Every structure is written in structure tokens, then in C-alpha cells.
Structure 1
Amino acid sequence: MTFSQDILTRAQPIMDTIMVHPFVKGIATGNVPDDILNYYVEQDEHYLKDYLQVTALTVTKTNDTNDIARLLETAQFISNESKAHEIMLNITGHHVENWRRSPDTQRYTDHMYTSAYHGTYADALAVLLPCAWSYGVIGRELVAQGANNDANPLKEWIEIYSPQANDEIDYNAWRFDALERAVANLNDSQKEQVIQTFLKSLEMEWRFWEAAWNQTQWRFDF
């Protein structure tokens, strides 16, 4: 079993839980309350800015020119994320107001920065990977279910994240290949740390959906 196969096997229970989350199921039917979509977009605006900065930190951890080029290419996908936000905001009529970061958004981005600053190149790749990978799974599975039908107001959102539907290059294959190469010279303890970094990010993905669904906020003003 390769490292990637091991990490994905261990990640499957979390991914299975994400796929049955009421928010994701609501996307499949095109039926998500406006306030939940607005919360999600507001928090994702914060997250994506940090995602770009952590990607930049990851670039500094490798001398592989091909990896650097690919990391910069994948960062460009953020423009597609903006389109995904527009699809949701066109449904709700909301305009981004830069709401305060929620506790779960802060927790997730803190995890990303810590891993990128203090970890290995493999840790930096692993902390970023679950976002792109999990959305790719969501897009693929929802297309397979026929959720991207013309009656679904979130049809375009689904197709943005499905390589089969939008003919985009599937960068997740490269991400896992890069991760395989990055862990090649690590010892077993270091490899386990990389796996834990990945799995924590993937749970944070679940928590991000959950926070939006429940409109989670800080308990106190400060």
C-alpha cells in the first residue's frame, strides 16, 4: 500500500460523513437556506485568503521547480472559487461584508499556518490537500448522482468542483504524487505526523460545513 492509499483509507470515514452532511445534501437538491449560504461564503472568503498565503509558504519549502510551478497554477483556482461564491450570492442577493471569522474558520486557518511554518514540505502539502481533494470528491459524487441538473440552482457550483463536468485538469493527482515524493525520506514518525496533519484538515473541512449549517459564532464579544 502506498502512502497515499494509506492516507485515503484512513480518511474515508471522515469523507463519508461529509458526503451525508445536511449542507452537502442540500447542495445536491439545490435547497440550502439563504442564511447558511451567506455564512458559508463570508467564512470561505476569509479561508481562501489564508489558503493562498499558506500555498505561498509551501512554495518556499521546496526546490523542485515543477512543484513550484504546479503550486502556483493551483493557486489560480481561487478565481474559480470566486465564481462559486458568486453562484451562491446570486441566489441569496447577499453582498460580502467581511463578517468576523468564526471560531471554526480561525481554528482551521491556525492549523494551516502552524503546519506550513513549522512542518516539513510534506506537512505543508498535507495541510492544504484535503480542501481540494474533498471538494473534488463532492463534485464527482454529486455529478454521478445527477445533482447537476438544470433544475438545481447550484448546478454550476457542483460542476466547478467536478473534473468530469468541467474538463479541468485534475490537480489532485499531482498533489498526491507530490506528497508521495515529499515523504520518501521521512521516518515512520514523521510520516504519521503528515497523516495526522491531513486528517486534521479533513475534519476541519467537516467542521466548516457544520459551522455554516449551525451558524456558529463566538459566544462573547471582544
Structure 2
Amino acid sequence: MTDHPPATTPDRRPGGRTARIRAQVLDAVRAELTEGGHEGLTMEGVATRAGVHRATVYRRWRDVGGLLVDVIDAAGEMDWQPPDTGSLRGDLTALNQEIQDSLVVQPSFAVALMAASFHSEQAARAQKKLWADRYAQCEVLVHRAVERGELPSRHTDAHSLLTAATAPVYHQLVLLRADPDPQLPERSAAAAVLAAAAGAFSDLREERA
């Protein structure tokens, strides 16, 4: 499908009736997407489920791409904080467990949204930004580990470490579509921590600076 930018940019924190309508519509998008996937997501279906006139939905979000973008933006507005267990291994294990839980619940909104992003350039851009923001937010896990002396160098590439720690969970559940392994969150975290402690994620450019 060809996406178009929304006619108007929704206020990120609207108030009153506007906020209620947005909440109703985005809840409807999540439900429709989870139940029927991207193929079953329509403006009319969302309007009906939300109890909102379809003209309102078209006027504000314009098309399905606009709805998906706002759902992703809303996820970025959530007051989410990275785990803080007192150790890097514990933090990464908790993060991986969160990711696994979101992917194995049936039906999984997280998986449905990832699939939808392949059909919408707007949604793909929004999701890429959301993930980049989340990984940047999680870099504090690595910075804390350096301060505690768990990692050998302040030049550890936090993004690379986080990617290595979380990638096996996505690979197992999204790419391979395998059954969840209850030990995978901790095993992946432990492997990443061992590799980081050995200097596998050192940023050589910064060390030379």
C-alpha cells in the first residue's frame, strides 16, 4: 500500500475529548491489529470498534499508516524504565524476559505490529525510531555496569552489547517461530556479559582517542 502523511499531526498529550477519542481509537487499532493482523486493519473497522464516527478517524489519521504511526508514538510516550537489579546480568535478564513475555502472549500485539511495519513505510520509520530510542534508553544499564566495575572499560559500546544480549530472543521467537525457552533470557544475558567483560564490545575508536 502507499502511505500518506496524516493530514494533521496529533498532539502527543492532548486533553479532554481529544484525548478520549485518541485513546479509544488507539485501543481499537491495537485490538484490530492483534486479532486480524495488518490485512484486517481498516479505518471503518477501527471507527466501529472505537465507537467514533469514521469521518473523525479519517480527518485525524487519514489512513491506516497514520493509525499505525500514532500507535507506535503512543508506545514511546509510555513511562517505561529499564530494569535496575543491581547487576548487568540481572538487568539484561530482566530486559530479555520482558521482551520474551511480549512476544509469546497470544495473540501478540508486539509481533502483529512488527509485521504491520513491513506493509507501511510510515510505520516502519516510526518503529525504527521507537526501537532506537528504547535501545538508547537502555544504555544506562551498561553505564551503571561500568561504574560498578563489572566491565573493564568505559569505552564499551553499549548499543552493540545490548543488541547482542537481546537478539537471541527475537531470533528464537520471531525469526524461527520456535517455542519459548524459559532459560533463554538469562542465558543470552550471561553470554553477552561474558563477552563484554572480555572486551568484545570495546569501541576501539574511542580507546585510541
Question: Could you tell me the TM-score, scaled by structure 2's length?
Answer: 0.30
Q: Which has the higher helix share?
A: 1
Question: Could you tell me the TM-score, scaled by structure 1's length?
Answer: 0.28
